[in-house]
Amino acid sequence: MKKFNIPNYYRSSFIGEIKKARRVSDPRKKDFTPTTLNFGGLEVLVARHFGFCYGVENAIEISYKTLEENKGKRVFLLSQMIHNPAVNADLESKGIEFIMDTEGNHFMEFDELKSDDVVIIPAFGTTVEIEEILKAKGIQIEQYNTTCPFVERVWTASSKLGKNNSSVIIHGKPSHEETRATFSHAKEEAPSVVVKDMEEAVILGEIISGVRPITEFEDSFRHRASENFDPSRDFDKVGVINQTTMLAEETHAIAEHFKKVMIAKHGEEKLKEHFTDTRDTLCYATNDNQQATYALLEEPADFAIVVGGYNSSNTSHLVELCEEKLDTYFISGPEEIKEDGSIHHYNWRTGEHLITEAFLPVRRPLKMILTSGASCPDTVVDAVLDRIFDFVEVKRSREEVLLELA
């Protein structure tokens, strides 16, 4: 795996040693069991995989390198580099300006850009339409394109579907930057439509099979379908791709659902004429982090803390998994744990910011689960652990704990 040159203040020597020990003991990444850190009075179960992934480190490296190479020029990011407030705030403090927010609302118009401006494409990628606008202004986007290669792999899969005369069903959050970009690229090659979850997949399946009238497509999916999408024609053959940060389990289930719809409609012997299996579009890091979370949840614990940006899709899915088993607090950093012992956390389902008083159980010793999303710096996770130490008396030092991992 390539090593990236990112600022040292995103790396933690403590977390780094934990990850190093696991790489040594499990070089093929077959063991998803958590790392147990016994501090005496507090036992911390750390996920086997968490934190910065390949695509995120690549985007960060390019962003800081772009700033160094273009001193005196205006440097812009189309939107947030990654979904982490600490990283984006640091880039802003060094002079990068944002053109849009994560929903596509403009802080400035494209007309204000000049040909000698530098515009960085974020890790989520961007739409074909925006690429064409920037190129028309003479802005060189290729050199500063940080689109994750695993996102681009999804675009390649959609292109293959189009060449195979398949329509593209995209499993993703319709307003998410990556889904908007993937939809834009997919519709260049094939009729495309977005479904956000299994509930919508079932509705679409019933439209395809004729259980629901075809007019329901206009009501439910027209605003998420490519122009001139004809449900009476374009569902003859389909394949499923995804926003790379969705729950792997749900994407698999959605693909299987459409497979069964096609079998029921056309017969199993004709399945290959009507369904193309493309489930390998899942991001490896998303999959690893989710599998590591499943393994975490096999262990008994009192509560879980998941750290990451509140608009981070991959982080919200880790929270979703943990919430099924135990009290889970989704926080952006250590500052959300207050001096009075309360925790300010985020409800990813409703978008509400919540406060839980005295969130730490009284009994000792405590056992907690700790993990983070793919765009969260290790230093933030380390600082969250430090903050927990302010409320729980520990009897063993970090050095002692690390010796047990060697």
Residue 364 domain-assigned?
yes
> 28 and 111: one domain?
no
**What CATH number is associated with residue 121?**
3.40.50.11270
Angstrom distance (rounded) from CA 318 to CA 139? 38
**104 and 45 share one domain:** no
pLDDT score of 365: 92
Angle at 224 between CA 198 and CA 232, to 5 degrees: 85
Enumerate the β-bridge partners of residue 370. 46, 305
Domain presence at residue 13: yes
Tell me, yes or no, whether 142 lies in a domain.
no
| 195 and 237 together in one domain | yes
Burial class of residue 158 in the structure, from the number of CB atoms within 10 Å of its CB (0-12 exposed, 13-18 middle, 19+ buried): buried
- Which residue reads 């390019």 in tokens? 62
Token pair belonging to 364: 């000792």
Q: For residue 401, what is the domain's CATH number?
A: 3.40.1010.20
Q: Are residues 242 and 318 in the same domain?
A: no
Sequence-ordered alpha helix ranges (H) in 83-165? 85-93, 128-136, 149-163
395 in a structural domain: yes
Structural domain includes residue 69 = yes
HSE-up of 367 (CA within 13 Å, CB side)? 11
Shared domain check, 181 and 79: no
Beta bridge partners of 239: 168, 276
Looking at 136, 166, 187, which one is the last position of a domain? 136
76's enclosing H/E stretch is strand 75-77
Please answer whether residues 315 and 375 qualify as being in contact, where contact means their C-beta atoms are separated by less than 8 angstroms: yes
Q: Is residue 2 part of a domain?
A: no
Residues 271 and 291 in one domain: no
For the chain, 406 residues long, give each residue's pLDDT as a single digit of tens. Answer: 678 999 999 999 999 999 999 999 999 999 999 999 999 999 999 999 999 988 899 999 999 999 999 999 999 999 877 778 888 889 999 999 999 988 888 999 999 999 999 999 999 999 999 999 999 999 988 889 999 999 999 999 999 999 999 999 999 999 899 999 999 999 999 999 999 999 999 999 999 999 999 999 999 999 999 999 999 999 999 999 999 888 888 999 999 999 999 999 999 999 999 999 886 677 788 889 999 999 999 999 999 999 999 989 899 999 999 999 999 999 999 999 999 999 999 999 999 999 999 999 998 999 999 999 999 999 999 999 999 999 999 999 999 999 988 7
Query: Whole domain around residue 85: which residue ranges?
Result: 54-136
Residue 254, domain member (yes or no) = yes
**Strands, DSSP E only, in 164-319?**
167-171, 192-195, 238-242, 275-276, 303-307
Same domain, 208 and 172: yes
Rounded to 10°, the helix 313-323/284-296 angle is 20
Q: How far apart are CA 109 and CA 106, in angstroms?
A: 6
Q: Are residues 182 and 274 both part of a single domain?
A: yes
Last residue of a domain, one of 254, 282, 310: 282
Quote the CA–CA distance of 351 and 404 in Å, as a whole number.
Answer: 40
245 and 162 housed in the same domain: yes
Shared-domain flag, residues 91 and 208: no
Does residue 181 fall inside a structural domain? yes
Three-class DSSP labels, 166-188: CEEEEECCCCCHHHHHHHHHHCC
The token pair at 302 is: 């009192």
**Rounded Cα gap, residues 219 and 51, in angstroms:** 40
Residue of 131, 178, 320, 336 marked active site = 178
Q: Is the peptide bond before 365 cis (omega within 30 degrees of 0)?
A: yes
Contacts of 29 (CB under 8 A, 6+ apart): 48, 49, 288
Q: For residues 174 and 112, state if they share a domain.
A: no
276 and 293 share a domain? no
| Domain count along the chain | 3
Is 131 a residue of the active site? no
Q: Which of 72, 105, 136 is the last residue of a domain?
A: 136
Sheet holding 366-372, edge to edge: 35-38, 42-46, 366-372, 303-307, 328-331
Give residue 326's identity as a one-letter amino acid code: L
